[in-house]
Amino acid sequence: MIKLFKFSLILNFFLSLVFFSFITVAQENNLKINKIIINGEKRLSESFILNYLPNYPDTKFSNEVLNNFTKDLYKTDLFENINTEIKDDVLVVTLKEFPIVNEISFIGNHIIENDQLLEIISIKPRDIFNNENLNIAAEQIKTEYQKIGRYLAEIKINKMDLNEGRVNLNFEINEGSLLVVKNINFLGNKVFSNSELKSIITTKEDAWYKIFGSNKFLPERLEFDKEKLKKFYNERGYIDFEIVSAKGDLLPDISGFNINYILNEGNRYKVSNVEFISSISKNDKLLLEKISIKENDYFNSRALEYSTNELIRYFEDKGYNFINVQSSIQKNNNLVKIKFSITEGVSKFINRISVIGNTRTNDSVIRREISLFEGDPFNMAKLKSSINSLNRLGYFLSVNYKLVNLDNNLIDIIINVQETNTGSVSLGVGYSSLNNTNISFGLRENNFLGEGNKVNLEASLSDKKSTYNLGYTEPYFLDRHISLSGNIFNQDKENQKGDIKFSVQGFGLGIGFKKEDISQNFSYNLSTSKSTTSSTSTANSITGENGKNIMTSSVTHSIVSDTRDSFFNPTSGYRWKLSNTLSGLGGDTSFLKSVVNYGYYFPINYGDYVLSFKSGVGFVTGFDDKVTSSNRFSLGGDFLRGFDNAGVGPRDTGNDQSVGGNNFYNFSFQIKSDKWLPDDTGLEWLLFTDVGSLWGTDYKDGVQGYDDMEPRVSNGFGLSMSTPVGPLQMLWGFPIVSKNYDKEENFQFSIGTRF
């Protein structure tokens, strides 16, 4: 009976719990809400918020519905805080919205521009602000700096709250310094040593003398070095060479990087056979002579590329257009067979010629150098000749072309130029025993107002000499191949002792004509010179002119042929000039002066080096009168490096003054390259040998060396480098064959800037 009573109590308690739980759940699932109040919304409408209630306004409220309502609002990323509260039958929703980004700014960044940083980060003006997006943006900026090797970059974000739920964000950036490369390691190389491979790549290990940044770790430089290594091996016959891995490992103490390469060198191949497949030429022996790659040589990828271009140039020079040369290789037991397939495309006519990239230079200045016109049959040789003509102007860093094939055998030509600054201001400093310190200044504009006109002002000043020259040239008068020019000049100089003084002033006018690579010019010059001396031992070559104002009236004809590929830094082609000056059309002198100059530029080792040869020969002979000192030649300086500007040839025995000469010759051999110099310095080295002589005067008494035509010889070297203020050049010349009366100038220095 007692047991039955206990069981009845337990059962009633359990049923009561179930009943009350049911009542509670029923109440939670059937909340009575007659009104909703929303607080805190500033930008969003009430309807936007209520839209997240299911079936509103017929929503059946429950705790689950309210929980889901809150979660869904948070998912919008529009709210920093959401609170719901039921008071009687009223649902109160209190919101705190994230602010809107009003403005984003950056300070401290110098390497990456503001616009680029704004594009990098995911948060933008008018976006919703939240701390997560802010942290992501900071990491995005850091990642971008790491791409350029700035692993020490730090980002600090400053937030300024504004009214109406807006904020300004300022990213304060410390870009940090580049990390150095501690060690460069190679694994897998058997043929070439680590030191050989290190000399190939541009990245260098850190050392105290590394001042040009080559010891800094840059990810893009690593990619460039990978290409250099591949090129190095391919040019030496290792066709199968591959870089298995190349990466920079950041040291644990963040003090620098170790760069580790894993290489697979592969086998070395020789060229077993070279074959030509062509419907244009069947003379394989002739074609083989035209290319650089030869049978039984080790395979060279550079020679293969060069040979392809040589074949294209050969057929284009023969008048063929749209030459296509495809090369293929077939490997077999460390031997490689090379096959060249040569085809010619269909003849086409020019539809349109467009010029792009020029902002300063007028279209007409560029188009007048192009020997092709709309409607003409396309001619590749003429197009390349036109490109060379544009390069020789000196207005452009580069000139490229693109051909666009159209229907009906038509073609568009797009000329793309990259302009350079054509104005220059230069400053030169030199020293010689004759003139002591010499300072020269030059101001030149070769593309005045974008019309191609030339203006120049040149001046030099030393203890014993001052000169100036002002000139102007209109190269295309009336838009024709006719040039007009004019200049005025003045020179005053005296000898070391100061007992001889010489001055000359005058002007010149010229007209020129040009056709393709050949131009000729006619000019008239009128000058007045005067020599005065107080020396009693001066040679008759001077005293015969003492105190006289001598007027020279002359005409000059010159003809020039120029095929060089560049005005500033030619690597191929030639330039020769022949000029004849006749004096005697009025004035006090009558003579004939003739000069021939020739220069030839030749790339060797596929353009790694540029070999140049320059020469000049000249003579002047008087008719009725003797040739005056102002109309004789002088030799030295740039034409015979290692000697003073007038350091070679006949000299006055009394005062050691140069009296000039009636005849001269000079030859110069030079090799120039940037090999073995750091790639990121802009340095080039040059070696030269100059040979020349000056002799012949109409006076013999008191003149030494008046008939001595024996050559003077000098050797030397130089360095040139691009600097922020312009090209810098240093030359050292050392005479190895000279006369005891010659004057030396062993060092020349110049620096200038373009504007």
pLDDT confidence band for 549 (50 / 70 / 90) = confident
- In angstroms, the CA 532 to CA 194 distance is 69
Domain that holds residue 632: 423-754
Q: Please, are residues 282 and 275 in contact by the beta-carbon 8 Å criterion? A: no
pLDDT, position 666: 96
Same domain for 545 and 689, yes or no, is yes
Average pLDDT, rounded, for the chain:
84
Same domain for 230 and 360, yes or no, is no
Helix (H) or strand (E) holding 686: strand 684-695
Asked, for residue 61, whether it belongs to a domain, the answer is: no
- In angstroms, the CA 206 to CA 177 distance is 14
How does DSSP classify residue 599? Answer: E
Same domain for 242 and 335, yes or no, is no
The two tokens of residue 507 are 């002007």
* Rounded mean pLDDT, 510-518: 87
pLDDT at 752 over 70: no
> 634-654, pLDDT tens digit by residue?
999 888 999 988 899 999 887
In a 13 Å sphere around the CA of 28, the CA atoms on its Cβ side amount to 10
> 218-263, pLDDT tens digit by residue?
888 899 999 999 999 999 999 999 999 999 998 888 888 999 999 9
Q: Which of 174, 198, 229 is the last residue of a domain?
A: 174
Buried-exposed string 401-437: b where 16+ CB fall within 10 A, e elsewhere: beeeeeeeeebebebebebeebebbbebebbbebbee
Question: Phi/psi of residue 231, each to 5°?
Answer: -65, -40
Neighbouring C-beta atoms of residue 84, cutoff 10 Å = 16
Same domain for 545 and 653, yes or no, is yes
Same domain for 638 and 489, yes or no, is yes
Q: Which one has a higher pLDDT value, 637 or 21?
A: 637
Question: Phi/psi of residue 111, each to 5°?
Answer: -85, -45
500 Cβ contact list (under 8 Å, min separation 6): 494, 531, 532, 533, 535, 538, 542, 652, 655, 657
Tokens 């580790």 belong to which residue?
Answer: 260
pLDDT at 9 over 80: no
Same domain for 192 and 246, yes or no, is yes
- In angstroms, the CA 490 to CA 608 distance is 43
pLDDT, position 553: 93
CATH number of the domain at 432, please. 2.40.160.50
Asked, for residue 93, whether it belongs to a domain, the answer is: no
Neighbour-count burial of 303, counting CB atoms closer than 10 A to its CB (0-12 exposed, 13-18 middle, 19+ buried): buried
> 344-353, pLDDT tens digit by residue?
878 889 999 9
pLDDT, position 259: 95
Same domain for 282 and 401, yes or no, is no
Same domain for 599 and 694, yes or no, is yes
Same domain for 8 and 104, yes or no, is no
- In angstroms, the CA 445 to CA 704 distance is 42
CATH number of the domain at 218, please. 3.10.20.310
pLDDT, position 665: 97
- In angstroms, the CA 494 to CA 736 distance is 28
The two tokens of residue 108 are 């401290």
Asked, for residue 94, whether it belongs to a domain, the answer is: no
Asked, for residue 448, whether it belongs to a domain, the answer is: yes
- In angstroms, the CA 506 to CA 522 distance is 17
Q: Please, are residues 341 and 328 in contact by the beta-carbon 8 Å criterion? A: yes
* Rounded mean pLDDT, 494-511: 78
pLDDT confidence band for 385 (50 / 70 / 90) = confident
Q: Which of 404, 419, 434 is the last residue of a domain?
A: 419
Q: Please, are residues 482 and 476 in contact by the beta-carbon 8 Å criterion? A: yes
The two tokens of residue 420 are 């350079």
Same domain for 514 and 460, yes or no, is yes
Q: Which one has a higher pLDDT value, 16 or 121?
A: 121
SS3 content of the chain, % helix, strand, coil (to 5): 20, 45, 35
The single-letter code of the amino acid at 542 is: I
* Bond preceding residue 57 cis, omega within 30 of 0: yes
pLDDT, position 488: 94
Query: Could you give the percent of the chain with pLDDT greater than 90?
Result: 38
Same domain for 104 and 237, yes or no, is no
> 717-746, pLDDT tens digit by residue?
999 876 544 557 789 999 999 999 999 988
Q: Please, are residues 303 and 293 in contact by the beta-carbon 8 Å criterion? A: yes
pTM for this model (two decimals): 0.60
- How far, in whole angstroms, is CA 599 from its chain's centroid? 25
Same domain for 237 and 289, yes or no, is no
pLDDT confidence band for 274 (50 / 70 / 90) = very high
Asked, for residue 201, whether it belongs to a domain, the answer is: yes
- In angstroms, the CA 307 to CA 325 distance is 10
Q: What are the start-end ranges of the E strands in 500-657? A: 500-515, 518-533, 549-562, 573-587, 591-604, 609-622, 642-643, 651-652
Q: Which of 395, 419, 443 is the last residue of a domain?
A: 419
- In angstroms, the CA 561 to CA 575 distance is 6
Query: Which of 69-73, 106-110, 427-431, 634-638 is predicted least confidently?
Result: 427-431
For residue 628, give the nearest of 558, 746, 530, 534 by alpha carbon. Answer: 530
- In angstroms, the CA 554 to CA 508 distance is 10
pLDDT confidence band for 388 (50 / 70 / 90) = confident
Asked, for residue 376, whether it belongs to a domain, the answer is: yes
Question: Phi/psi of residue 272, each to 5°?
Answer: -90, -30
Asked, for residue 163, whether it belongs to a domain, the answer is: yes
- In angstroms, the CA 471 to CA 480 distance is 21
Helix (H) or strand (E) holding 537: none
- In angstroms, the CA 121 to CA 144 distance is 10
Asked, for residue 491, whether it belongs to a domain, the answer is: yes
| Count of domains forming the chain | 6
